A = this chain, B = another copy of it.
Amino acid sequence: MQPTLSDVAKEAGVSAITVSRVLNAPEQVRPATRARIESAIDKVGYVRNMLAGSLASASSRVIAAIVPSLSNVVFIEVINGLQSEFERHGYQILLGNTDYDLERECQLVRTFLGWSPSALVITGLRHSDACQRILQQWEGPIVEIMELGDAIGFNVGLDHTEAGRCMARHLVQRGYRRIIYVAAQIERDYRAELRYRGHREVLQAAGLEAPLLDMDQLGQFETGARALDQVLARHPNTDAIHFANDDLASGALLHANRQGIRVPEDIAIAGFNGLPIGQHVTPRLTTIVSPREVIGQMAAREVIARLEGEQTLYSSHDVGFTLSVGEST
C-alpha cells in the first residue's frame, strides 16, 4: 500500500495537516519542521494522492482540453501552446479527441467536467444543444478556440470567413477567373466551411462562379493529389484551386511536380494554415498563416490569469492571420 500523509506525519512527529502545508504552502511551516517533514517524505517514499486532495479542495489543477482531431498538425500545435504555458504553472492536461463528432464532444465534456477541472478549453463555437446547456451551467472558466464569434466563455481565434475572403480576393486580383474551392469532408469541418463562404461571397461579388469540390476522405497529401486529378479531369479549364488547408494544397503541389503540371502556369494552387511544408515546396505555396501556437498560449494565459484571481472580463481575442504569397498563384 502506498504511504499516506499521516504515515509521513507519524514519521516526522507532526500532524497530517502540517505535512499537507509543506506540500501546498511551505512558507507557512518553520524551516526546521519543513526539513524534517521533507526527509520523512523521502524516507517513506510518499507519493501525493491528487484524487483525495482535489476532492477535498474542490480544485484539481487539471485542464480539460478538447480538440476535434489529433491527425491534424494544427491542433497539435495548439495543444503544444497550451501545454507549454499550463505545465509551467503546474497544471496537467486531460486530452480529449472528438473526431469531429458533436455527440462525442458532448460525452467528453460530461466526463471531463466530472474531474472538476480548473478550466475547459474546447475547439470551435458549435456544440450540440445538450453540450451547450452543460457548458452554460458550468461555473469554471471556458475558452473556445480557433473560431471567433458568439462564445460561451473566452474566445481566442481568427475570423475564418474573412480568411476565405482574403484568399479569394487575392486570387481574383491575380486574374484567375475559374477558381474552385476544394475541401475534405467539409460538413465535418465547420471552419473550412466558413472559409468557403467567404470565398464564395467574394467570387460572386466579382460575378464569378464558386464551385466546390468536397473530397470524401479526410485531408492529407494523398487526398490533395487525387483532388488535383479530379479537377483537371472534370473541370479542365479551371485556372486556380483554393484548398481548404495546406495538407491538401501541398499534396496537390507535389503531385503536380511529379506529373509535370506547371504551377501556377497550368493551374494555381493556394492553401490555408501556413504549415512549414508550404514554404519548402517549389513553387512556394500561397497560403494564409494562422498563429496556431499563439492560440494555445493566449488561451492558456487567459485561463491562468483568471485562475490566479485577476479579474479579466470574458471577451474575445482575434489572433489574426497573414496572407503569405508564394509563387504558386
Contact B114 A50 (CB under 8 A): yes
Shortest CB–CB separation between residue A55 and chain B, in angstroms?
Answer: 4
Query: Nearest B residue to A61 by beta-carbon distance?
Result: B111
**A92's closest neighbor in chain B, by CB?**
B94
- Identical copies in the complex: 2
> Residues 21-60 of chain A: 1 if any B CB is under 8 Å from the residue's CB, otherwise 0?
0000000000000000000000001011111111100001
The minimal Cβ–Cβ distance linking A108 to chain B, given in whole angstroms, is 9
- Is A257's CB under 8 angstroms from B282's CB? yes
Give the residue of B54, B134, B220, B276 whose beta carbon is less than 8 angstroms from that of A276.
B220
**Given the complex of chains A and B, what is the CA–CA distance between A5 and B49 in angstroms?**
23
Contact partners of A94 in chain B: CB under 8 A: 62, 92-95
Q: What 0/1 readout, one digit per residue, does chain A (244-261) give for beta carbons within 8 Å of chain B?
A: 000000110011011000
Complex interface: chain B residues within 8 A of A128 (CB) = none
19 A-B interface contacts by CB (under 8 A): A47-B113, A48-B110, A49-B114, A50-B111, A51-B115, A51-B116, A62-B94, A70-B76, A73-B76, A83-B95, A87-B97, A221-B276, A225-B280, A251-B280, A254-B277, A254-B280, A254-B282, A255-B280, A258-B282
Give the interface of A toward B (CB within 8 A).
45, 47-55, 60, 62, 70-71, 73, 76, 79-80, 83, 87, 92-97, 110-116, 134, 137, 220-222, 225, 250-251, 254-255, 257-258, 276-277, 279-282
Known interface pairs A51-B55, A83-B97, A258-B280; 10 further A-B residue pairs with C-beta atoms within 8 A, sorted by A's residue number: A47-B110, A47-B134, A50-B114, A51-B114, A51-B116, A55-B55, A92-B115, A225-B280, A250-B277, A251-B280
